[in-house]
Amino acid sequence: MSSDRPDVAEGVPQTEEEWRQELSPSQYQVLRKAGTEPPFSGKFVHNHDAGNYRCAGCGAVLFSSGTKFDSGSGWPSFTRPIDPAHVNELPDGTATEVRSTHGDSHLGHVFADGPRDRGGLRYCINSAALRFIHRDDMEAEGYADYLNQVEDVHE
């Protein structure tokens, strides 16, 4: 990745005070305090638009609309990240936590109950942890290299 690309944001907050200033209260609770938004309350649960989802904290590109599916869980669900290097998976007892690599922020959890024909994983991610970039806006926002990975949502 070149340094002029927004997938790995320079200037990611370093202190908790900087994070508080940068994020909304709900984003801060999810991303920095490992909170979970109530099921079916997030703005991306029913998003069916084509585009990419990036970390609301550090800006790293995380998931494509083509890997999103309706799991019935109440949270946006994806079968795989765009680039596995952008997420860390950490066992946390009953599930595996998913964190952004660059911002070390909580995103959600991954479970082994996803669609079998698409790898069997379900990345269950909080909407507050995400920023959506519509396919039509990706080039203008510096994500043209990811256009070939955008597909329509599989529901």
pLDDT in tens, 51-101: 999 999 999 999 999 999 999 999 999 999 999 999 999 998 888 999 999
Note whether 146 and 62 are within 8 A (CB): no
Residue 92: the pLDDT is: 84
Q: How distant, in Å, are the alpha carbons of 79, 103, 116 from that of 82?
A: 10, 17, 18
Is pTM beyond 0.75? Reply is yes
Q: State whether CATH 3.40.50.20 applies to domain 16-149.
A: no
Containing 26, the helix (H) or strand (E) segment is: helix 25-31
**124 and 68 Cβ atoms separated by less than 8 Å:** no
CB-CB contact of 128 with 37 (8 Å): yes
**124 is annotated as an active-site residue:** yes
What confidence tens digit (pLDDT) does each residue in 24-51 have? 999 999 999 999 999 999 999 999 999 9
Write down the catalytic residue from 30, 121, 124, 150.
Answer: 124
Q: What was the pLDDT predicted at 134?
A: 92
Q: Label residue 2 by pLDDT band (50, 70, 90).
A: very low
List phi, psi (to 5°) of 68.
-80, 140
Confidence of residue 152 (pLDDT cuts 50, 70, 90): low
Contact 65, 54 (CB under 8 A): no
In the chain, where the domains are located = 16-149
